[in-house]
Amino acid sequence: MAHIEAFHSSRGGGDFLGLRHGRSGGVEIVYDDGVTRRMVWRVKTPGVCVERVGEALGAAVDSLRVVPALMAELRKRSIAIEALPR
C-alpha cells in the first residue's frame, strides 16, 4: 500500500500538493492548481525523511504562489528534486 500525504490550500483555492511513492519506489511530489497545471517532481536527495518533505509541502500550500514557495521550502531543507515528464 502506498503512503500518500495530501495538502489543500486553506485559502479556498484549488491548489493541491501531494506526496506519494512512485512506481520506481522513489518519493514524488505532485502539484495541481485545480484548473490547468499539474506538475510532478521526483525527490533526488537519497535517504530523505518523508516527514521533512511533508513539512515543506504543508508550509508552501497556503502561499499565493505555491510552486515558488515549494521550491524555497525544499531549498531550506536541502532537498533536491527533478521534474518528471508529463
* For the chain, percent of residues with pLDDT exceeding 70: 94
Q: What ranges in the chain are assigned the alpha helix state H?
A: 50-60, 66-76
**Cell 535517504, residue?**
47
Mean pLDDT value of segment 36-62: 92
pLDDT at residue 1, as a whole number: 39
Mean pLDDT value of segment 53-77: 93
pLDDT at residue 55, as a whole number: 93
Q: Which domain holds residue 32?
A: 5-83
pLDDT at residue 3, as a whole number: 61
Chain centre distance of CA 49 = 13
Contacts of 4 (CB under 8 A, 6+ apart): 18, 19, 20, 21
Q: Are 6 and 18 in contact (CB under 8 A)?
A: yes
Residue 39 binned pLDDT confidence (cut-offs 50, 70, 90)? very high
Residue 2 binned pLDDT confidence (cut-offs 50, 70, 90)? low
Chain centre distance of CA 37 = 14
Mean pLDDT value of segment 15-22: 89
The tally of domains found in the chain comes to 1
